[in-house]
A and B are shown apart, each in its own frame.
Chain A
Amino acid sequence: MEHKPVVLVEGLHKRFGAAHVLRGIDLAVESSRVVCVIGPSGSGKSTLLRCMAFLDRYDEGRVFIEGRLLGYREVDGRRVPDSDRNIDSVRSVIGMVFQHYNLWPHKTALGNVTEALRVVKRLSRREAEAIGMETLAKVGMEEKANAYPARLSGGQQQRNAIARALAMRPHVMYFDEPTSALDPELVGEVLEVMQELAGEGMTMVVVTHEMGFAAHVADEVVFMDEGEVIERGSPDDVFKRPRSERLREFLDTWRARTI
């Protein structure tokens, strides 16, 4: 069988009106690898992740998920938007975690996790709740199963959101600045869950400002600025031997802030 990366991004361009926010991004995420995307605010890293999920449509280039083109179909060499159904199908192997958790406030922690199991996978309530409890336990949230999001701390909400994505058994997890909205003392519990996932071999793409996490957990670190990948490599390469001035500046700023 031909080898295919879980996620393959080729020559990706994205414009919001006159703003050219992604300028030809290439990225390959192999199975069981953790890729961390870092860069200053406005560098396009979140937009990249959103385009890789087709939450934002990209203008040029291609995103393949397990070899299948995401968001578009090619008809006689021309590109046309794909149907929602096909997009859902290609996307079904992606689990996504957002900066602001995006839990549904009218459902309990368990309800948030079981919702898609019930209506997308059409499991019975019992099956869905069994998987739901198991997944909540995995993120240390089984005791909060019946709590509504408003009663959970930020860290608990984000772990709940991770469980919601995990319950669907994704092949790759996207994290869009998962700890940026958290109080500093709550960041650790979320990173711990993510680190555990990485340890189990989950394929992950993480857009983050947590340099420590990137340094310890990533297999590859990608540094973006102004819509381009400036540098990429192992955490050691990127953090200890930056080659570009921009990355050096970025790391200096970050170090100055963390002391």
Chain B
Amino acid sequence: MSFDIDIMFRYGPLLLSGLWTTVHVCALASLLAVAAGLGVSVLYGLPMRPVKLLCRAYIEVMRGTPILTLLFILYYGGPSFGLTLDAELVGIIGLGLYGGGYFAEIFRAGFESIPAGQLEAARMLGIPRRLVVARIQIPQMLTLIIPPSTNQVIILVKESALLSIITVAELTKNTTQMVNETFAVVEPYVAVALLYWLLIEGIALTGGALERRFGYAS
């Protein structure tokens, strides 16, 4: 069997449009995941037991169920409780909430790695609790969590391939379409692997750059 470079060019636009969907769905899902994770980790730190339990429950459910199950519940189960969402939106919400569970744990570990003495010093100076979080804890935590967060975003991008199952026209879905139309297998999957790899390398490089930018004298 010969490697047909020609169909790669013919299907280029389809693959690139899939790539674009993957990129923007993952970008929005990552934002949601980071926001949810940060929110949950801050709430987790409050001295309120019920809030803590709710946060814990969220984290455990997100980590304890496959992402595909969550996507099916949202997409196929949604309508039965009056929630009819566009597949792409389900993808963003599903991946975002799912990733949020992991980000919450990353952030929590980040918060806990800041020595208590630093917070006592802030307390003695009369800095209000919320400003201690915003100005002392979060900036330091962000530096600490850049490497694991980069990792988490990479995982999220790979998991986004599952969105093809709920009909989102992202990279994997469009590749499958290409396979179905051309009966070629090797070319489409080599092409898609290359595109995912480029995307993920891009994320890894960005993560590395952020690490250098925000790493303070250590």
CB-nearest residue of chain A relative to B143?
Answer: A106
Contacts A102-B115, A102-B117 given; does A119 touch B131 at CB 8 Å: yes
Which single member of A88, A96, A106 contacts B121 (CB below 8 Å)?
A: A96
Q: How many A-B residue pairs have CB under 8 A?
A: 69
Are B118 and A104 in contact, with the CB atoms below 8 A? yes
B124 touches A53 (CB 8 A): yes
Is the C-beta of B60 less than 8 angstroms from some C-beta in chain A? no
Using Cβ atoms and an 8 Å threshold, which residues of chain B touch A98?
117, 120-121
Q: Determine whether B129 belongs to the interface, using a CB cutoff of 8 Å to chain A.
A: yes
Distance between B181 CB and nearest chain A CB, rounded to angstroms: 54
Tell me whether A120 and B125 are in contact (CB under 8 A): yes
Contact B127 A119 (CB under 8 A): yes
Tell me, yes or no, whether A154 is within 8 Å of chain B by CB: no
Q: How many angstroms from the CA of A115 to the CA of B119 in the assembled complex?
A: 13
Assess whether B135 is in contact with A115, with CB atoms less than 8 Å apart.
Answer: yes
- A141, B38: Cα distance in complex, Å: 37
Q: Does A151 contact B (CB under 8 A)?
A: yes
Name the contact of B139 in the complex, choosing from A55, A103, A106, A165 (C-beta under 8 A). A106
A119 contact set on B, CB distance < 8 A: 127-128, 131, 135
Q: B120-153 CB contact bits vs A (8 Å, 1 = yes)?
A: 1111111111010001100110010000000000
Q: Which residue, B115, B125, B139, B140, has most C-beta atoms of chain A within 10 A?
A: B125
- In angstroms, Cα B123 to Cα A206, docked, is 19
Q: Count the B residues whose beta carbon is within 8 Å of the partner chain — how many? A: 22
Q: Which residue on B lies nearest to A167, using beta carbons?
A: B125
Residue from B115, B127, B129, B217 whose CB has the most chain A CB atoms within 10 Å: B217
Q: Are B129 and A84 in contact (CB under 8 A)?
A: yes
For residue B218, CB closer than 8 A to chain A, the reply is yes
Closest chain B residue to A149, Cβ basis: B217
Report the Cα distance A41→B124, complex, angstroms: 24
Check if A234 is an interface residue, CB within 8 A of chain B. Answer: no
Residues of B within 8 A of A (CB): 115, 117-118, 120-129, 131, 135-136, 139-140, 143, 216-218
Closest 3 pairs (CB-CB, A-B): A148-B217, A116-B125, A102-B117
A interface residue numbers (CB < 8 A to B) = 53, 55, 84, 88, 91-92, 94-96, 98, 100, 102-106, 115-116, 119-120, 147-148, 150-151, 161, 164-165, 168
Between-chain CB contacts (< 8 Å), 9 pairs: A55-B124, A88-B126, A91-B126, A102-B117, A104-B118, A104-B121, A104-B140, A106-B143, A150-B217
